[in-house]
Amino acid sequence: MNTDDHQPLPPPMPAGGMPSVSEEAAPLQSESQLEPGQEVSAELTTLQQIRRQIERVFIGQQHLVDNVLVAFLSSGHILIEGQPGLGKTHLVVALAQTFQGLFKRIQFTPDLMPSDVTGHNLFDMSKQTFEFKQGPVFTNLLLADEINRAPAKTQSALLEVMQERQATIDGTAYPLPQPFMVLATQNPVEQDGTYPLPEAQLDRFMMKVVVEEPALEDEILIATRATQSGMDSLHPSQLEAVCGPEDVVRLRDSIHQITISPAVIRYAVELVQATRASEMTSYGASPRASISLVEAAKGFAMLRGRDYVIPDDVKGCALQVLRHRLRLTPEVAISGQTIDETVVAIVNSVEAPRQ
């Protein structure tokens, strides 16, 4: 089944049943779908062009594309959980191609060292000086592949990188290129040889998206194109760059122009606080989640062609913003209730403001 993370959450189920989590895709609106009298800004046009280029080589999984674009637009980082072979790397390379961005990949393994991530100082015998050798974090899009296969010490090397957009080596801070974004992939926790991510690092991911297998028709189209036209027909190298890195920086700045009312901000914060007050959680989301929820809602509003946020934007992205930031009580976990079901129940318990 093809899933999507930004539909409004379903209402609670009656006693004796748990609510299901719906993730059906809500595609980006085209110019003709915008509300009457609404003008298409240059930023929205650029965003639409980026999406259209990605869709040339990345078939289906609209929810994944939408969430990656929202995190990219909102200057956030995204954690993607799913089985291998679902096109996660393909999507990141395609996104980098659309704005002529730098792309680097780190394959996380148990023997990976923090210096392999951030870089290190190397002594040059001929010059008798230390020279800094940049690590792969010095890029625009960093794919941290199978991040949960490395121990916590190596995972934590990304903490400063994700928060401060810089890497400090031997007391010297080196700024990263802009724009910068970490896209981390994670194998399901039940697989062997994985380590849980530290809570401090999880909190720095704006969103976590769970990727399902492609729909039947999408997979048929992928197989048809790959076998009849060759794999090159799906390779991101054929994509056209629609803008440059400096345009992406301006695109990100434009999100501050999205209007959000105090009532909707209050609603977002109430959702986050409800995760901390709930009897179903041993601890809930931090204030950083409130910021992420508001920023993600702005990104979804812009993705949908609006310059203002409505409560459904907040409610629609609550699952992916909150699902990785809370822990269930032992009693709830033993009952078989999942994190996603808990987030749905908590969100549905908070009254949304009238639009």
Q: End of a domain among 256, 288, 312?
A: 256
Q: What does the alpha-carbon distance between residue 289 and residue 320 come to, in Å, rounded to a whole number?
A: 11
Same structural domain, 51 and 94: yes
Q: Which CATH number goes with the domain that contains 162? A: 3.40.50.300
The reply to whether 266 and 247 lie within a common domain is no
**Tell me, what amino acid is at 269?**
V
| Domain containing residue 310 | 258-355
Whether residue 120 is contained in a domain is answered as yes
How many domains in the chain?
2
Provide the token pair at 355.
């639009």
Report residue 355's pLDDT band, with 50, 70 and 90 as the boundaries. low
How far apart are the C-alpha atoms of 88 and 240, rounded to whole Å? Answer: 20
Q: Is residue 8 part of a domain?
A: no
Do 264 and 274 fall within a single domain?
Answer: yes
Kindly state whether residues 71 and 136 are assigned to the same domain. yes
| Residue with more model confidence, 112 or 11 | 112
Domain closes at, from 237, 256, 275: 256
pLDDT tens-place string over residues 97-123: 999 999 999 999 999 999 999 999 888
Give 153's pLDDT tier (boundaries 50, 70, 90).
confident
Query: Do 72 and 173 fall within a single domain?
Result: yes
Q: What is the DSSP code string of 49-70?
A: HHHHHHHHH--S-HHHHHHHHH
pLDDT of res. 77: 97
User: Confidence class of residue 42 from pLDDT cuts 50, 70 and 90?
Assistant: confident
User: Which burial class, exposed, middle or buried, applies to 169 when counting CB atoms under 10 A from its CB (0-12, 13-18, 19+)?
Assistant: middle
> pLDDT of 182-220, one tens digit each?
999 987 755 667 777 888 889 999 999 998 888 899 889
Domain boundary (256, 273, 298) is at 256
Q: For residue 297, is it within any domain?
A: yes
Flag whether 33 is in a domain: no
Tell how many helices (H) and how many strands (E) occur in the chain.
14, 11
Q: How does pLDDT run across 294-338, given as a tens digit for each residue? A: 999 999 999 998 999 999 999 999 999 999 999 999 999 999 999
pLDDT class for 233, splitting at 50, 70, 90?
low
Amino acid identity, position 350 = V
Shared-domain flag, residues 58 and 109 = yes
Asked if residue 186 belongs to a domain, the reply is: yes
Q: Tell me whether residue 208 is in a domain.
A: yes
Domain match, 293 and 222 both: no
The answer to whether position 68 is within a domain reads yes
Q: Is residue 348 domain-shared with residue 315, that is, in the same domain?
A: yes
Confirm whether pTM is higher than 0.85: no
**Same domain, yes or no: 48 and 190:** yes
**CA dihedral in degrees (337, 348, 207, 284; nearest 10)?**
-70
Sign of CA dihedral 327, 184, 181, 159: positive
271 and 233, same structural domain?
no
Q: Are residues 180 and 245 both part of a single domain? A: yes
Residue 219 lies in a domain: yes
Residue 52 backbone class (left: φ over 0; alpha: ψ -120 to 50; beta: rest): alpha
H helices within the chain, ranges in order? Answer: 42-57, 62-73, 88-98, 114-118, 152-155, 158-164, 199-202, 216-228, 245-253, 262-277, 287-303, 311-322, 330-334, 339-348
> pLDDT above 70 covers what percent of the chain?
86
Q: What percent of the chain has pLDDT above 90?
A: 56
Task: Based on the fold, state whether residues 232 and 286 are members of the same structural domain.
Answer: no
Q: Report d(CA 142, CA 72) in Å as an integer.
A: 12
Q: Both tokens of residue 229?
A: 């036209």
The two tokens of residue 225 are 């194109």
pLDDT of 10 reads 39
Report d(CA 114, CA 120) in Å as an integer. 9
If one counts every other C-beta atom within 10 angstroms of the C-beta of residue 287, the result is: 12
What are the residues whose beta carbons fall under 8 Å from the beta carbon of 249, sequence distance 6 or more? 178, 179
The CATH number linked to 323 is: 1.10.8.80
